[in-house]
Every structure is written in structure tokens, then in C-alpha cells.
Amino acid sequence: NVVVLNAAISACEKAGQWEQALALLQSLGGRERGVEADVISYNAVLSSVLARDDGGSLFNKLLAEMRQKGVQMDEITYNLAISTQAGDAEAAKRFLEELRGSGLEATV
């Protein structure tokens, strides 16, 4: 179930194993497999890939996938997204405005 998926992804995140966290999300986190990844699943994977220095492309790909699947972003997701935009003030501002428009509040 999703609780077990999230626990496994979180364990990978804490161990710095972003590749395994991503693999779990991709292999188990699909409706067709009976376990639907939720915002907690994605937040744990997003957090784990922040350590990967690829210019944010993997982070942005996962964020787009999350949105495409209809998983609603929460404060944690927005905070992670804003923190990835250190070199792009306009992008950070867009995420902050989207966050505020959703009724949530930034904590970064």
C-alpha cells in the first residue's frame, strides 16, 4: 500500500539513495500496479533528488509528472520547488504566487 511505499522511499531519501527512491516511485507508484503514489511519495523523492546536481532537470521532470497525474502540491512541495530556483528569481516568484493562490503558506 501507499504507506509502505512512502516508508520505503523515505528510508532511501534519508540514506541518500535518490536513485533507489526514484526507482521505487517509478516501479511501484502507479495506479496500474495497485499502489498510487501520493504527495508524500513525491515529496520524499523530490527531496532526495535535490542532492543531485543536474540543474534541476530531474526535479522539474518529477514535478511535471506529479501534476500530470493530478497529485496536488502541498506546502512541502512548493517549498522544495522554490528552494530549487536560487538562480531564477522569476521562477521562484511564480511558485510563491502559485502557493499563495492555493491558500497554502511558504515556510522557506
Tens digits of residue pLDDT in 79-106: 888 787 767 778 778 877 877 777 777 6
Does residue 32 register a pLDDT over 60? no
Please state, rounded to an integer, the average pLDDT across all residues of the chain. 84
Query: CA neighbours within 13 Å on the CB side: how many for 84?
Result: 26
Nearest-CA neighbor of 40 among 74, 17, 81, 80?
Answer: 74
Does residue 53 register a pLDDT over 70? no
Sequence-distant (6+) residues with CB within 8 A of 93 are none
Cβ–Cβ contacts within 10 Å for residue 98, how many? Answer: 14
